[in-house]
Amino acid sequence: QQQVKQSPQSLIVQKGGISIINCAYENTAFDYFPWYQQFPGKGPALLIAIRPDVSEKKEGRFTISFNKSAKQFSLHIMDSQPGDSATYFCAATNTGNQFYFGTGTSLTVIP
């Protein structure tokens, strides 16, 4: 049973465009929602994270939008660059030590 559902599986965006990746969860006990970025041959690296008491968090070109009532959250990458091409994972966790990753989104930014 997939605890965190992520879409799309793959995404192709033109340079300068906006990349949007969506995630949904069911377990309302989750209280921390990180996003990870993984380049080929590397381990995932934390990109940005949000707690459910905040509806939006922005760090540079990366923004998380969080909709608690819908149990959905999304990553927006503004002004996407070829260097952003990577696999992105959303995740959800809680203090009960449950930790689940989404299935990943392969992002390709075309120059």
List residues binding another protein (CB under 8 A).
32, 34, 36, 38, 41-46, 49, 87, 89, 93-95, 97-101, 103-104, 106
Q: Pick the closer one to another protein by CB: 65 or 87.
A: 87
- Tally Cβ neighbours within 10 Å of residue 18: 13
CB of 79 to another protein, least distance (A): 25
For the chain, first and last CA: distance in Å?
A: 37
> What distance in Å separates the CA atoms of residue 13 and residue 69, rounded to the nearest whole number?
29
The residue (of 7 and 106) whose beta carbon lies closer to another protein is 106
Q: How far is the CB of 83 from another protein (least distance, A)?
A: 19
Q: Report in angstroms the alpha-carbon separations of 53 from 21, 30, 32, 62, 67.
A: 20, 12, 10, 19, 10
Per the CB < 8 A criterion, the answer to whether 13 and 20 are in contact is: no
* Cβ closest to another protein, residue 54 vs residue 78: 54
Asked if residues 4 and 25 have their Cβ atoms less than 8 Å apart, the reply is yes
**Min. distance of Cβ 93 from another protein in angstroms?**
4
The least CB distance from residue 45 to another protein, in Å, is 7
C-beta closer to another protein: residue 6 or 74: 6
